[in-house]
Structures are given as C-alpha cells and as structure tokens.
Chain A
Amino acid sequence: MTMEHVPTPSQTAGPYLHIGLTNTHSITQIAAPGILGERVRLKCRVVDVEGAPLHDAMIEIWQADANGHYNHPDDVRASETDSRFYGFGRAATDESGACEFETIRPGNVPAPDNSSQAPHLNVAIFARGILLQLHTRIYFAGDPANDSDPVLALVPADRRDTLMARADPKHPGSWWFDIHLRGDQETVFFDV
C-alpha cells in the first residue's frame, strides 16, 4: 500500500440499493440446470438484534464449482472450470428478510497450508445501517470435511453452528441459512 493510495471508505448501501443493484441485476441462479454438482436450493434469512427481519438487505455470494475451482485468473486451475459456471449471486431480501438462491454444493477448496477447506459459500451482507459489508461463510451441516476445515478451526466450537446451513427435511436439496446480525444467536462474522 502506498501513502497516496489508501482505500476509499465504505458507506452504507442505504435503503434504496435495489435501484442500482437488484431491480434489474440480481442473480439468484448461481448454477444453471446441467452444471456439474449436487443441486442446492438455498434460502437465506437476515434478522437484527430483535429478531426482526431485514426487508432492505442484499446478500452477495461467491463460490467455487463442484471441483472446488473458482472462475478467476488467480485460481491456477481455473481452466478446468465449467465456463458456464460463474460462481456469483446476489439478491435483495423480501418482507420476511429472506432470499433464495439456486446453486450447487461447491467442492473442497485448497487452503494456504496445503490442507483443504470444506465446501463453503462466501457471503457479503449489505444494508441500511451496515457501513461496511459483513462477511460470513455458509458451510453445509453434516459435511464430514467440516471437521478438518482450517477456517472453522479458528471459530470457537460453540459458535460454529452459526455458520451451518441446515438441510430442510421436508424438501430434499433445500437448505436454510439464518443470519443473525446481533444478539444471543449472533452469526460469526469474519475480519477479512
């Protein structure tokens, strides 16, 4: 970093972010039908300290494909990525604080220490009252790779559950992920 080039401060996206970001440019289908991988219908919900739903938030998701490859030039294995799979999604929450994505379960992603990360989605949350986006991750409850994930290992054991999407027993392939911005059930957020 140079003295002249300090990053521009972040500011809230405000209550009207839909105008510029999601009215015509939301992406709820991260993986089109036919893309390699186990289909996932992911329902996210965002609530505040009182448990009140946020009807004016936006969730962005960035994820690897079923082989754990990111569609990005810095992933040296990117040439193996299915070019139809981009890995980015974003959606505004509705009156119940919820939004839904259609995607696939990503593969294991390499970790810097030569280990590997369990399948996960990278999440950023924007809203009125959020001056700087909040970063969290969505893992899949019950995935055996979670036990050796180096990022989950950084999280106190009694809070790891907040990073787990839950399978909906009534609807195979459907998963729930609740984001509690604050309070007793507060989701783990990362300083990235």
Chain B
Amino acid sequence: MSKVANERSVIHPYHRHPAGSQPPRVYEQYRSTPPRNPSKPLIFLPHTLSEITGPVYGHDPIGETDNDLTRQHATAPLGERIIVTGRVLDDNGRPVPNTLIEIWQANAAGRYQHHRDQHPAPLDPNFSGAGRTLTDENGNYRFISIKPGAYPWFNHYNAWRPAHIHFSVFGRAFLSRLITQMYFPGDPLFAHDPVYQSVPDEKARQRMIAKFDLETTQPQWALGFRFDIVLRGPDATPFE
C-alpha cells in the first residue's frame, strides 16, 4: 500500500434539507411522479467520502459563445433578449467558485430543439437553447439568452408550463448536485403548474423565481434578471 494509506480524510457531513424546502418524490398532481419514484422508504445514509466528494474540476473547456445563447448561430434568435446573472452559494453563505452551470430552454415560441417536442410552434434556426459557464472566484455567473415561451404539456387538460430555464449545477460534492428550473416573476401560470407547486413551502417556491433587476438591465439592449442559487453545504463540525 502507499505511504499515506493510513491518513484519514476529514469528513464534514453536509446539511440535510429543511422540511418543506424540496419537492416530495411523489406529487400526485404531477402524474409522472408515482410510477417513477420508490414506494419504500429511502435508507438514511450517513455521509462518507463517497457522498462529500464529487466532480469539481469541470468536464471540458467552455467555448467562447457557450454562455451567450444569442450568438451561437449566423444571426440572432427571435425573442426578448435577456441577461441572467447571479451567484452560486452554499447554505453557509459561502460562494461556490469554478463550478459548472449548464442551462437549456425552449425558444421564444415555447418550442424545444428536440425531436420529441411536438408542440406546433415554430422552431428557430438561430436558437439551440443550450448554454454552459463556470462561476468565477466569487461564485458569480452570467448568461445572455432570450426569454423562453410557455408551452403546453399532457399532464392534465389544458396544462401549460410557465416560462422557465433549466439549470444544472455541480458544486463540491456529489450530494450538492442540483438540477432546477428558473422562473420569471409574475407568471400567471404558477398557480396552475404542478411542477412549481410541488415544492411545499411558499418561501422555497419563491427561491426559484428570478428577480427583475434594472441594474443588470442594459439600456437599448436587454432586460436583466438575477437568480442566485444555493447548494447544500458542509456542517462546520467535522468528524473522522
């Protein structure tokens, strides 16, 4: 064995989610959840090195237009140009630097560039709808895109998803991994959307809504929105 094989890694267990802050696994109104989630109780797992480590080094280089979804084709896509910016923090309030954020979204008409999306709304040849970036040393990130449209789905009669951008974030640990959706303020569809409504606590639901921000907004060019993301963080007290 190697010379430091007996050296112990210090394990900082991560905080557990506060009650009501995350959606339940089965939410009947969202009809795909019952057949795709366990009926038996989950096994409580005290954190080991396997859970508190995770892919932190990024996967591959970020391209020059990866964080600007309006510059990935010959001309600009249709739609309201937006700037989405914010910080990634852990639940101790510490910035999460150099972490990968990936986003994807529908175009301004509410159509995804995906072979299974059959919504009869036009595709935009100038919009792929995918972006990626790394947070800077203070946890800041920034994307330029267009505001996605709302779109219908088959969950129930006359079901429509509020406009949203999918966000995927890694953080420092495999258990800090987060995939969520960012919504836009004041959307009348919130009250009718079981995905949004699945989160029990109202304050928690509001954490998924970006804030319109006049300071981020650029005159004669783009509306600005702020969306801060909080990931699970480690407890201060380590044990070995």
Pick from A8, A14, A15, A56: contact of B208, CB below 8 A: A8
Q: Does B90 make an interface contact (CB < 8 A)?
A: yes
Return A46 CB to nearest CB of chain B, in Å: 9
A154 to B117, CA, bound (A): 42
Q: Does B199 make an interface contact (CB < 8 A)?
A: yes
Pick from B11, B45, B179: contact of A151, CB below 8 A: B45
Q: Does A143 make an interface contact (CB < 8 A)?
A: no
Contact indicator A134/B180 (Cβ below 8 Å) = no
CB within 8 Å of A: which of B223-240?
A: 229-233, 239-240
CB within 8 Å of B: which of A138-192?
A: 151, 154-155, 181-183, 186-192
A182 to B37, CA, bound (A): 6
From known contacts A77-B4, A130-B37, A131-B195, infer whether A87 and B230 are also in contact, taking CB-CB under 8 Å.
no
Q: Which residues of A contact B46 (CB under 8 A)?
A: 112
Size bracket of the A interface: 35 or more
Query: Chain A, 1-15, contact with B by CB distance < 8 Å: what is the 0/1 string?
Result: 110111111111111
Return A128 CB to nearest CB of chain B, in Å: 6
From known contacts A70-B49, A134-B37, infer whether A10 and B102 are also in contact, taking CB-CB under 8 Å.
no
Pick from B38, B179, B230: contact of A6, CB below 8 A: B230
How many residues does chain B have at the interface if contact means C-beta atoms less than 8 Å apart? 90
CB within 8 Å of B: which of A56-85?
A: 56, 60, 62, 64, 67, 70-77, 80
Q: Does B5 make an interface contact (CB < 8 A)?
A: yes
Q: Does A40 make an interface contact (CB < 8 A)?
A: no
Describe B's contact surface by its main secondary structure. Answer: loop
Contact indicator A112/B23 (Cβ below 8 Å) = no
A17 to B229, CA, bound (A): 19
What is the chain A residue whose CB lies nearest that of B161?
Answer: A14
Contact indicator A2/B175 (Cβ below 8 Å) = no
A133 to B180, CA, bound (A): 10
Q: Does B168 make an interface contact (CB < 8 A)?
A: yes
Q: Which residues of A contact B198 (CB under 8 A)?
A: 11, 131
Pick from A6, A114, A135: contact of B18, CB below 8 A: A6
Return B233 CB to nearest CB of chain A, in Å: 7
Q: Which residues of A contact B11 (CB under 8 A)?
A: 112
Q: Which of B24-32, B76-84, B184-192, B211-219 is near enough to bind chain A?
A: B24-32
Query: Chain B, 201-222, contact with A by CB distance < 8 Å: what is the 0/1 string?
Result: 0011101100000000000000
Contact indicator A9/B37 (Cβ below 8 Å) = no
Return B69 CB to nearest CB of chain A, in Å: 11
Q: Does B157 make an interface contact (CB < 8 A)?
A: no
Return A74 CB to nearest CB of chain B, in Å: 6
Contact indicator A16/B233 (Cβ below 8 Å) = no
Q: Does B112 make an interface contact (CB < 8 A)?
A: yes
Contact indicator B179/A126 (Cβ below 8 Å) = yes
A80 to B45, CA, bound (A): 27
Q: Does B146 make an interface contact (CB < 8 A)?
A: no
Q: Does A27 make an interface contact (CB < 8 A)?
A: yes
Return A17 CB to nearest CB of chain B, in Å: 7
A63 to B214, CA, bound (A): 44
Q: Which residues of B contact A131 (CB under 8 A)?
A: 22-25, 27, 30, 33, 195, 198
Closest 4 interchain pairs by CB?
A: A20-B104, A129-B32, A72-B53, A88-B55
Q: List 6 A-B contacts (CB under 8 A).
A: A1-B15, A7-B22, A11-B208, A12-B30, A72-B54, A110-B9
Identify 7 new A-B residue pairs, CB closer than 8 A, beyond the known A12-B179, A20-B104, A62-B55. Answer: A7-B178, A9-B205, A10-B179, A20-B103, A74-B9, A75-B9, A75-B53
